[in-house]
Amino acid sequence: MSEIIKLSATELAKKLRAGEVTAVEAVQAHLDRIAEIDGGDRGLNAFLHVNADEALAVAAEVDEIRAAGGTEAEALHPLAGVPIAIKDLIVTVGQPTTAASKMLEGWMSPYDATVIEKIRAARMPMLGKTNLDEFAMGSSTEHSAYGITRNPWDLGRIPGGSGGGSAAAVAGFEAPLALGTDTGGSIRQPGAVTGTVGVKPTYGGVSRYGAIAMASSLDQIGPVTRTVLDAAYLHELIGGHDPKDSTSLNEPVPALVDAAKQGLTGDLSGVRVGIVKELTGEGYQAGVQERFNESVEVLKAAGAEIVEVSCPNFKYALGAYYLIMPSEVSSNLAKFDGVRYGQRVLPEEGPLTIERVMGATRAAGFGDEVKRRIILGTYALSAGYYDAYYGSAQKVRTLIQRDFDAAFEQADVLVSPTSPNVAFEFGAKSDDPLAMYLNDVATIPANMAGIPGISVPGGLSEGLPVGIQFLAPAREDARLYRVGAALEKLLEDSWGGPLIDQAPELAAATTGGAA
Amino acid sequence: MSAISREDVAHLARLAHIEMSGAELERMTGELDAIVDAIASVSEAAGDDVPATSHPIPLHNVMREDVVGATLTPEQALQNAPDAEDNRFKVPAILDGE
């Protein structure tokens, strides 16, 4: 394996600046890795599209600017030349955006998402678009219309979801950085089960313009990386106010890199960490609970004050989420009707009216999970049920916010396992939607309240990664980076290196080339 | 308190413009019934005195200057259309029999 791909984004950026590695070499090393392990019957299939030509061209520009020196070279962003992978829910000019749905097969966006504009402005080469559950609906990436993505830790297991492609790409050293989206845990849960770092920023902290909307009051774009410091650099780049997103916070991005660097000193004196009683114990695998307990001890040894907090209304969070999210889904996905973009499928018989074309198009274009959520949302919003379901769920949202408010009076950050279980085998939960939904029980409350969350590697259970989640009050993302980086550093000291170094070496895929 | 019938699902599928076969309706009815059953407790969680939250971090009166910004050209807007004619999206008959 090339040494370049093992570097963190921060280390690679340093070598690029020092001239020890060129951006073209960095991009090529990752493209080679993708060609080697992504395709074929046992490949990761993290990528739906590989953007080799453009990525190499952008890298060559960076190298030229650096070689020429002067003010333009000095003005380069710290991450210039560092390659990145993009979840295929985020629209990009020049590359197809499919949302992993047949509905959008081959769709070419006429505009860039705001986060993509920022990545272009920073001259970061985009390696390609990563796989996901269709329209980001799922926790395993098994609901993609373009095949499953494999977990680099065990090719027979799920990489989490919906952002399984971005997490697997980063865990498998196909990319040092990726973007994800998190509506109920789709950045953090894949991070947990692949031994990587995933951050869901404060709602409104990163522009959602150009992220194909799933549930607009819950969706958030965020970083997918192998280290907390890398996530801080990427978060600072993509964050900030965007007039094109009317839910964007008109506030400066917090000093996240500084917070991560402070955390890397390993000192958490004076930090109050709250264990959420309702997010531990029953329902959590024993191995997950053990790693969690050990992490709490590590935080305590670093000087943190550990308190227990109770959030009694969290027991309603999953139910309320599965009313609010599908309701917003049913509205947001109404636009995929075969008229302005995407597939159009004609009914096999009977009169050819637009209504029947829509019915046939949506029947053929959407997968089962998407249909399930649209129907559930249509039900929750229909006359006679609205108050009992959607209305009640919105009240639960208030109760969850109040629980968090009370908890954050006692603690600066909250801690829990990110996912109740380690990565499961393919097919283990795909016939039981409810069992699948339970994967997100610890991540959903943050989306309901709009607060930020991070998942960092917390060790292994039966050879598979366990994630530790921290949550902070809205706008206090910096706290996550401080505490997350401290835990990362102290655990890595005890392991003798990053957790990802314990992942098995991936053999070259047996058949075929890159996806 | 749930009990979603197959007729309910057929009606919802029509509202949502998703054609469904008999077998699909059958399966979806069973799955939705189980899901709704599992989430029904939400309706008893909060009393009348609890206000609803529609948005996690409410912002008010988000405005922009009333000036023309970047827009798509007709070609860009139509580039992904399944069918187009004369700078317009082209669709089959809107009304039955015409």
pLDDT in tens, B18-76: 999 999 999 999 999 999 888 888 988 988 899 999 989 988 888 888 999 889 999 99
Please answer yes or no on whether A434 and B42 come within 8 Å at the CB atom. no
Per-residue pLDDT, A209: 98
Per-residue pLDDT, A509: 67
Extract the tokens encoding A313: 């209304």
Instruction: Please determine, for residue A383, whether its predicted confidence score (pLDDT) is greater than 90.
Output: no
Q: What percent of chain A is modeled with pLDDT above 70?
A: 98
Q: From chain B, pick out residues whose CB is under 8 angstroms from the CB of A453.
A: none
Instruction: Please determine, for residue A239, whether its predicted confidence score (pLDDT) is greater than 90.
Output: yes
Per-residue pLDDT, A212: 98
Q: What is the DSSP letter of A248?
A: S
Q: How far is CA A276 from CA A279, A449, B74, in A?
A: 5, 15, 53
Q: From chain B, pick out residues whose CB is under 8 angstroms from the CB of A447.
A: 56
Q: How many degrees, rounded to 5, is the angle at CA A453 between CA A450 and CA A457?
A: 165
Give yes or no for a contact between A344 and A354, defined as CB atoms under 8 angstroms apart.
no
Residue A503 within any structural domain of the chain = no
Collapse the DSSP code of A82 into the 3-class scheme (helix H, G, I; strand E, B; otherwise coil) and give the result.
coil
Residue A11 within any structural domain of the chain = yes
Give yes or no for a contact between A489 and A316, defined as CB atoms under 8 angstroms apart.
no
Active site residue A8: no
- When pLDDT is cut at 50, 70 and 90, the band that residue A296 belongs to is very high
Please answer yes or no on whether A371 and B39 come within 8 Å at the CB atom. no
Instruction: Please determine, for residue A297, whether its predicted confidence score (pLDDT) is greater than 80.
Output: yes
Which tens digit of pLDDT belongs to each residue from A211-230?
999 999 999 999 999 999 99
Mean pLDDT of the residues in chain A: 96
Instruction: Please determine, for residue A432, whether its predicted confidence score (pLDDT) is greater than 50.
Output: yes
Taking the Cβ of residue A68 and every Cβ of chain B, the question of whether any pair is shorter than 8 Å is answered with: no
Report the domain count for chain A: 1
Per-residue pLDDT, B1: 43
Q: From chain A, pick out residues whose CB is under 8 angstroms from the CB of B41.
A: 316, 319
Beta-strand ranges (E) seen in A182-241 are 197-200, 221-225
Per-residue pLDDT, A1: 66
Give yes or no for a contact between A328 and A217, defined as CB atoms under 8 angstroms apart.
yes
Per annotation, catalytic residue among A162, A166, A295, A330: A162
Instruction: Please determine, for residue B98, whether its predicted confidence score (pLDDT) is greater than 50.
Output: no
Q: Which H, E and C letters describe A151-196, residue by residue?
A: ECCECCECCCCCCHHHHHHHHCCCCCEEEEECCCCCCHHHHHHHCC
Sign of CA dihedral A480, A482, A487, A492: positive
- CA–CA separation, A63 and A42 (whole Å): 35
- CA–CA separation, A16 and A66 (whole Å): 9
Please answer yes or no on whether B35 and A376 come within 8 Å at the CB atom. yes
Residue A334 within any structural domain of the chain = no
- Partner residues linked to A390 by β-bridges: none
- When pLDDT is cut at 50, 70 and 90, the band that residue B97 belongs to is low
Active site residue A392: no
Q: How many degrees, rounded to 5, is the angle at CA A8 between CA A291 and CA A119?
A: 115
Residue A404 within any structural domain of the chain = yes
- CA–CA separation, A126 and A97 (whole Å): 13
Which tens digit of pLDDT belongs to each residue from A444-470?
999 999 999 999 999 999 999 999 999
List all residues 6 or more positions away from A477 whose beta carbon is below 8 Å from its beta carbon: A199, A201, A202, A205, A235, A254, A256, A452
Q: Could you give the count of Cα atoms lying within 13 Å of A95 in the half-sphere of its Cβ?
A: 28
- CA–CA separation, B6 and A514 (whole Å): 44
Question: Can you tell me the mean pLDDT for A51-56?
Answer: 98
Residue A211 within any structural domain of the chain = yes
- When pLDDT is cut at 50, 70 and 90, the band that residue A152 belongs to is very high
Instruction: Please indicate, yes or no, whether the overall pTM of this predicted structure exceeds 0.90.
Output: yes
Write out the DSSP string of A101-167: -GGGTT---SS--HHHHHHHHTTPPEEEEE--SGGG--SSSTT-TT----BTTBTTB---SSSHHHH
Q: Which structural domain, as residue segments, surrounds residue A429?
A: 3-313+399-494
Which tens digit of pLDDT belongs to each residue from A72-85?
999 999 999 999 99
- Pick from A221, A303, A70, A371: which is nearest to B32 by CA? A371
Which tens digit of pLDDT belongs to each residue from A134-147?
999 999 999 999 99
- When pLDDT is cut at 50, 70 and 90, the band that residue A159 belongs to is very high
Question: Can you tell me the mean pLDDT for A45-51?
Answer: 98
Please answer yes or no on whether A357 and B34 come within 8 Å at the CB atom. no
Q: How far is CA A300 from CA A14, A266, A268, A456, in A?
A: 33, 11, 8, 17
**Residue of A246, A342, A434 lying closest to B38 (CB–CB):** A434
Q: How far is CA A142 from CA A147, A150, A352, A507, in A?
A: 7, 10, 34, 23
Give yes or no for a contact between A141 and A159, defined as CB atoms under 8 angstroms apart.
yes
Active site residue A461: no
Q: How far is CA A110 from CA A96, A107, A132, in A?
A: 10, 9, 22
Instruction: Please determine, for residue A514, whether its predicted confidence score (pLDDT) is greater than 60.
Output: no
- When pLDDT is cut at 50, 70 and 90, the band that residue B95 belongs to is confident
Neighbouring C-beta atoms of residue A312, cutoff 10 Å: 11
Instruction: Please determine, for residue A416, whether its predicted confidence score (pLDDT) is greater than 60.
Output: yes
Per-residue pLDDT, A512: 46
Question: Can you tell me the mean pLDDT for A4-12?
Answer: 98
- ipTM metric: 0.94
For tokens 């890397």, the residue is A264
Q: How far does A293 lie from chain B, in Å, by closest CA?
A: 30
Write out the DSSP string of A387-445: IIIIIHHHHHHHHHHHHHHHHHHH-SEEEEESSSS-PPBTTSSTT-HHHHHGGGTTTHH
Residue scoring higher pLDDT (B35 or A513): B35
Instruction: Please determine, for residue A431, whether its predicted confidence score (pLDDT) is greater than 60.
Output: yes
- CA–CA separation, A102 and A138 (whole Å): 16
Sign of CA dihedral A19, A22, A26, A32: negative
Per-residue pLDDT, A433: 87
Which tens digit of pLDDT belongs to each residue from A178-216?
999 999 999 999 999 999 999 999 999 999 999 999 999
- CA–CA separation, A215 and A210 (whole Å): 14
Which tens digit of pLDDT belongs to each residue from A27-43?
999 999 999 999 988 99
> Which H or E run contains A456?
strand A453-461
> Which H or E run contains A459?
strand A453-461
- What CATH number is associated with residue A212? 3.90.1300.10
Q: What percent of chain A is modeled with pLDDT above 90?
A: 93
Give yes or no for a contact between A475 and A249, defined as CB atoms under 8 angstroms apart.
yes
